Structure 1
Amino acid sequence: MDESGIHDYLAILKRRRLPFFVTFFAVLTLSVIFTSLWSSYRSTAMVQIQQPDIPESVATPSGVPSASQIQALADQRINQIQQRITSTAALVDIITKFDLYPSARRSKPMTEIVEAMGKKIKLEMVSADMANPAAAQRLQSGQLAAIAFTVSFDYADPLKTQLTVSDLIGRFLDEDAKQRREQAAETSAFLARQVTELDAKMLVQEKAISDFRAAHAENRPEALALNQQNAANIAISIQSVETRIAEIERTRGDIMAQLAVVDPYSRVIADGQILTTPAIQLKALQAKYSTSLGQYGEFHPDVIKLRRQIEGLRSQMGQSPETADLNAQIIDTQTGLAAAETTLGPDHPDVRAYQRRKAELETRLAVASREPLRHETLKADADNPAYLMLVAQSNSARNQHAALLVQRTTLERQLAKLRQAIAETPAVEQQYAALARDYDNSQLRYRELNAKKMAADMSATVEQNGKSERLVLLNPAELPTDTRPKRSLLLAAGLFLSLVAGIVMIGLTESLSRSVHGTSHLAALTGVAPLVTISHIFTHDEQAAARRHQVLVAGLVSGGLVLAAVLINALVIPLDVVWSTVLRKFGLG
């Protein structure tokens, strides 16, 4: 019964082979297409973040971030490089270089292809846990001491996948080295310009401070104590000079008082008679002048003659022209007053006018008389020893008085200058403090910039010598031998689904058929088994057709095998890769 069932199944399979194979190959083709589109080869390369060859304490000057701090942000720099090498222009260059996505480029715009390729490029950081929890908390997840990273790419062609990853890694390394060199060179050049500009600025500030100190040499803040001390000393000196001036003025007053009572001429006795001195002659002429003026009037020749004689004697006696004129005016006023009182009375307005005139002239004469005697007003031919001694003392006192006046004026000028300097010191100190503060800030900034420039120059030297932190290819991209997910599993699943679909199609077509096939089917339908079964007798034409069919089947099988090889080479794995893998397995590669 079992054998009969198996034969029936085989008969059904033989009878329904066409829908089976159509369904089988249709589902298998769809699975192959799905497998080729969904699975792809992945090539991965690993790049290590190489630590500097030079110790951190030597390569990193004071005030510059250490390598450990820079390492914590290594992923940020790597991500920046990734953005550059996965830009549209860079990916278009790679697509053109390796002829990626040839069919898609004929039907889709390049921007969509580049976007799809960018999604296929994966960068993953390889990090190590930091020993310091506090430092780890300050960083985000995935930024903990990045020590390496991997770059992978998914594509249908394993060789092109490997070449693409190798090209991406090369661009990574080149871009990192270029970026570091350019950054070090630009930083050094920028800091050099800043140092040069600041140096020029400091020269201007130094000149401004020098000019300011030269312009305010006497009222600088550091000279305040000296100026105050000098001002106090000069004030004491002025008081001393004024005391000496007062003493000399008293001495000159005493001398002038003595000169007023000492006759400049000595009394000379000749032939038993005392010769008249100019003073006695002056008094006699003044008395005679008053009498003649009352008798003859002001313009009488005798009166004019007497007035001239009086002026000459007064000049000889050392009176100044102003004093002599005032004496003459007083005499005239007295003469007029005496005549007016005699003729007009004491209460007449003219008499009062003469009195006021006389009082005014006497006041002016008193003032003129108190003026110190000048050397040229003294009597040149005086011969009285006492008078000459007083004149010498007067001249000496006058010279001392003049010298002390000059000294006092000089000291007062010096004191005024010092007091002005002391008064201006706070404003000058404020201005100088502003200049000094700006210069100190510039000096501090200069030291900082100079230290940074030295660090930048050292970094540039280290970069040029290849001794700094850098990216090193640790694991190069290898030729992938399997897809992700594995195409063999997908094809096996597709083959299984194809068989199931073919069997389902056989059952479906057999259940829908109205034909009677075999004795079992007939017995099942009629309920009575047939008496005799006659086998099919093949004719000559049927045998020829069978042979042709076998040839056709062999050709289809051969073509299927060739097609399968082509599909495997195109969709699964290149046959040369399979051959190389097999040789390596047996140690013949």
Structure 2
Amino acid sequence: MHQQHSQSSPSSQPTLQDFLVVFSRRRAIMAWTFASLLVLSLTAVFMWPPTYRSTATILIEEQEIPSDLVRSTITSYADQRIETIKQQVMSRTTLWKVVEQYDLYQDLRRRSPVEEVVKRFINDIEVEVISADVVDKRTQHPTKATIAFTVAYQSQSPELAQKVANELTSLFLGENLKSRERQAQEATAFLQQEAEGLAKHISHLDDQIAAFKQRAKGALPELLPLNQQLMNQADRELVDIDQQSRTLEERRNYLEGELATIKPNTPIMSVNGERILDSAERLRALRAEYAGASANFSLDHPDIIKMSQEIEALERETGLRSEPEEASKALIDARATMATQSDRLGKDHPDVVATQRKIGALEREVHRLSGARAKAPSIRPENPAYINLQAQLNSAVSSLDALRKTRADVKRRLQEYTTRLERTPELEPAYLTLTRDRDTSAQKYQDIRSRLLEAKVSEGLEVQRKGERFSLIDPPSLPEKPDKPNRLALAFVGIILATVGGLGAGLAVDALDHSIRTPEQLAQLTQLFPLAVIPFMPNEEDLAQSLRRRLVFKGVGLGAAVSVLTAIHVFIVPLDVLWFGMMKRFGID
């Protein structure tokens, strides 16, 4: 039987029929490769040790007290704090304590350094944040906010995974509390230190300002209007004083002129024409009479005693004491009289004897008065007109002296105010610099004190656990089934890889076989087209070999079916449950 083929191009693309022919020709290799890869992949899936994962969920709760009332000093976002706490918890020192506490990675610790063990521990820990769409309270715009996060640990032992996850959760919660308290305390300590520094600076400025004011002596810029007012007032006072002084000087000159025309001791006459003596003149007259009587009578004489008593009474009344000069003058006169009488009358004449007795009495009086000498007051005038003018003159003189002292004081004050006004422009720049620095520092100090009080309230908020906090809402549980590996997915991937590997192996073997099997290959090789094609006619050996191949294919198919059913039974649902479910669904009892 011959079959005529049309001419074909040597560069024609392979068709589906060609691939089916290759599959039919290389089905044995494909089957063996598929079966081998499937068995290897399923074996790897079954032999892969399970890994259990224990997870804790921690909720980020807002502070209980509204932020409008108490503002927290911790302004970082939750995801930032979570990352910071994560770095603190997952430090080498902290993780190594956990490794030693739960005796983790025994084999790895024996053959690897500490860094490798800690790195493996970090790889087995997973921290994942949970975000949600919220509205920002400050901007009123929708945004993403972190509301919770999870802490997970995976291990080949479910109990160990739960214990380590619980320990990690405790570390996160504890580190968050310590971190918030530490940040609040650091903020309070910083503000306290700043407040103390500003207080010292303000105290130093106060001392400088006080010393500056003391050196300025009233010439401060802030006292410029007052100094100007006081200077004007002192100037007016000086003009008034000069005017009053001129008036008083004129009055003094007038009174002095009037006083010079009046006698101070104009006698006062009685109605009988006799002069009336006052107490002082009466005292002087009695003293003269006493001196004359002492020359004629003894001290025990009644007249002498009477005059002595009257003299003492007048001395007490007038306050005038006898002066030794007056008695001395009388003694000198008496001695002169005695010398004249002795030459003229003789020593035994009665007048000379009386004069001698008078001299003796005056000597005793001088001796007595010299022991108790007192300053005799000036003689008071008797004329009332003179006394009136003299009083007015004394008043004018006193007023004039007081005005002169007042003028000197006003002149001194005027000069002082003038000096202050002259020094003010020189002192103003330095003083303004000090006062501005002081005012700025005081304002900053008040601001720092206000913030310090807020920081102390915020610190109390954190210490009493009233601020934003981490709340454990889902503690680590004991995992009931492994998290890794996903055997179903891996088995499916193994089937795909086995299928691809089998097809690839068949195509590769066929591509490496250079046997001529089609008229097209012969035409490509010889550049001649065959006249006819004789089909393949198998013999008994070929039939036996074909039968063996069918048996092999059936065995491979049966093994694959068994493998698939086993995978379904292990990873999806038990076959008995699946069977009963199917019977129930189709209504078969």
The structure carrying a bigger helix percent of its residues is 1
